[in-house]
Amino acid sequence: MSETFERVEKKYLLTQTQYEDILSKIDSYVEPDKFYKSDIRSIYYDTDRFEMIRRSIEKPEYKEKIRIRSYGEPSHDDKVFVEFKKKFDGVVYKRRTKARYIELLNDISKAQFKDEQIGNEIRYALDHYGGVRPVIYIGCQRSSYVSKEDKRLRITFDKDICYRMKHLSLSSDPADKNVTDKVVMELKVERAMPLWLSRILDETKAYPQGFSKVGSAFLKEIKERNNHE
């Protein structure tokens, strides 16, 4: 299985009140997506110097991520998604295929990818960075909606966002730490935002705000470690 995405993604960091208000206001315009509720588990790969994460924090015009992702807890023999995600000038380009979970944990560069073309692109990126390893786990609970009028407009809400930087796997762990108490809303659009949505965002005072789960978790971990030194 392979997939390619090209779209504009806008993120919003919402309080619980804003989240509930927006949810009630969009109700007549959207419907639950095919995969409405998701238990999303991701492991991000990076160099020992955390080059990709540090670059993401700087909010450059161009950045990229390599991660594996499952929806729920996989077994070692299950195939999970492998994603190579690039963002340039606000547009996201995502290449996605699958590989066996245990192979990815052992050595992503030697994994057998379901789509070899995407696999080669991932290996090229790995070579560019001089080798990467699993560095951080991010988990969240996601609810997804699509516009009734335009299925290309997708709205997701991520809650209970957690992370850890040790004992990395796609399983939950008592050591998981909270990233934020806020709700991350993401709009994924291929065309201009509809007027009804612009009006709702204005009414609820929700404004686009760059927010990286992995970047925020990384900064929080660094701060905690510095406080303990």
Residue with tokens 């065309």: 191
The residue segments making up the domain with residue 114 are 3-227
| Rounded-to-integer distance, Cα 167 and Cα 135, Å | 10
Beta bridge partners of 30: 147
Residue 191: pLDDT band by 50, 70, 90 thresholds? confident
| Rounded-to-integer distance, Cα 30 and Cα 38, Å | 18
| Rounded-to-integer distance, Cα 31 and Cα 29, Å | 7
CATH of the domain at 208: 3.20.100.30
CB atoms within 10 A of CB 63: 18
Inform me whether the pLDDT recorded for 89 exceeds 80. no
pLDDT on residue 130: 85
Give the chain's domain count. 1
Report whether 215 contacts 168 (CB < 8 A).
no
| Rounded-to-integer distance, Cα 68 and Cα 89, Å | 24
Residue 214: pLDDT band by 50, 70, 90 thresholds? very high
| pLDDT tens sequence across 98-149 | 999 999 988 999 999 999 999 999 999 898 888 799 999 999 999 999 999 9
Mean pLDDT to the nearest integer, 184-208: 92
Mean pLDDT over the full length of the chain: 91
